[in-house]
């Protein structure tokens, strides 16, 4: 998926970032695909994903209309992966995010066995994705690259802000929000886990990697200057 190709960062900062998508082609293999998407996500759940997503309904981390300002301090962890699965009611695009290559490999093995008849792709560093797919017995069909950013690069924010904000490929995590979360963690106003959950709720596809976010925020909090 092109919306995950632009995750910013040096290669070493992306070694715990793997997104797997499943989708159907309209009019070709979308009939009966709802149950297949649910099966895909249930198989993923067995391997410890850090996020799940449905492009039409949202991910594990979701915003809510029933909140007041006190939620900033007292909001509970409301993640409910099963609700993502159960709410799928039409052909869509589903995803699972992993931070462990071994878990991803095991998931791919199970997906290959399930033979769901869906298009499945991995969004990650190309060498890593190719090696994991090979270990799972999968031959790569095609590859899509991101060539990076062009134009007035001096208008872009700092590297840390870019690394966080681009984990939502649709731009739903603003640079200002990412920068604010960095500042709050530095000031000990929020933990990296809390700040990561805040940002993840804005990523409506459910592809935000909270593990990577926590690591980046921790690094920022220990950086001087």
C-beta neighbour count of 3 within 10 angstroms: 19
Using one digit for the tens of pLDDT, what is the confidence trace for 48-61? 999 999 998 888 98
Q: What is the CATH number of the domain that holds 63?
A: 3.30.70
Q: Are 16 and 213 in contact (CB under 8 A)?
A: no
- For residue 21, the model assigns a pLDDT of 95
Residue bearing the bigger pLDDT, 68 or 133: 133
Boundaries of domain holding 97? 2-153
Domain count across the chain? 1
pTM for this model (two decimals): 0.91
User: Which residues pair with residue 120 across a beta bridge?
Assistant: 22
Residue 122: Cβ-neighbour burial (10 angstroms; 0-12, 13-18, 19+): buried
Asked whether residue 179 is assigned to any structural domain, the reply reads: no
Asked whether residue 70 is assigned to any structural domain, the reply reads: yes
Asked whether residue 22 is assigned to any structural domain, the reply reads: yes
Asked whether residue 85 is assigned to any structural domain, the reply reads: yes
Residue bearing the bigger pLDDT, 70 or 141: 141
Using one digit for the tens of pLDDT, what is the confidence trace for 137-176? 998 888 888 888 889 988 999 999 999 999 998 889 999 9
State the SS3 of 19-40: EEEEECCCCCCCCCHHHHHHHH
């Amino acid at each position: 998926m092109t919306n995950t190709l632009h995750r910013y960062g040096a290669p070493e900062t992306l070694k715990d970032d793997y997104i797997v998508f499943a989708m159907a082609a309209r009019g070709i293999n979308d009939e009966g695909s709802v149950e297949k998407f649910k099966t895909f996500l249930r198989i993923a759940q067995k391997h410890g994903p850090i996020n799940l997503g449905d492009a039409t309904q949202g991910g594990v981390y979701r915003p809510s209309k029933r909140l007041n300002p006190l939620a900033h301090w007292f909001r509970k962890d409301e993640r409910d992966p099963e609700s993502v699965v159960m709410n799928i009611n039409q052909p869509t695009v589903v995803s699972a995010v992993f931070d462990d290559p071994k878990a991803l490999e095991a998931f791919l093995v199970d997906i290959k066995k399930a033979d769901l008849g869906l298009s499945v792709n991995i969004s990650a560093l190309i060498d890593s994705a190719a090696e994991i797919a090979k270990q799972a017995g999968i031959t790569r069909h095609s590859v899509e690259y991101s060539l990076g950013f062009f134009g007035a690069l001096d208008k872009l924010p700092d590297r840390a802000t870019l690394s966080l904000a681009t984990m939502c490929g649709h731009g739903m995590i603003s640079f200002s929000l990412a920068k604010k979360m960095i500042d709050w963690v530095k000031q000990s106003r929020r933990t990296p886990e809390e700040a990561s959950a805040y940002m993840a709720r804005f990523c409506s596809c459910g592809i935000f990697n909270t593990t990577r976010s926590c690591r980046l925020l921790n690094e920022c909090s220990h950086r001087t200057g």
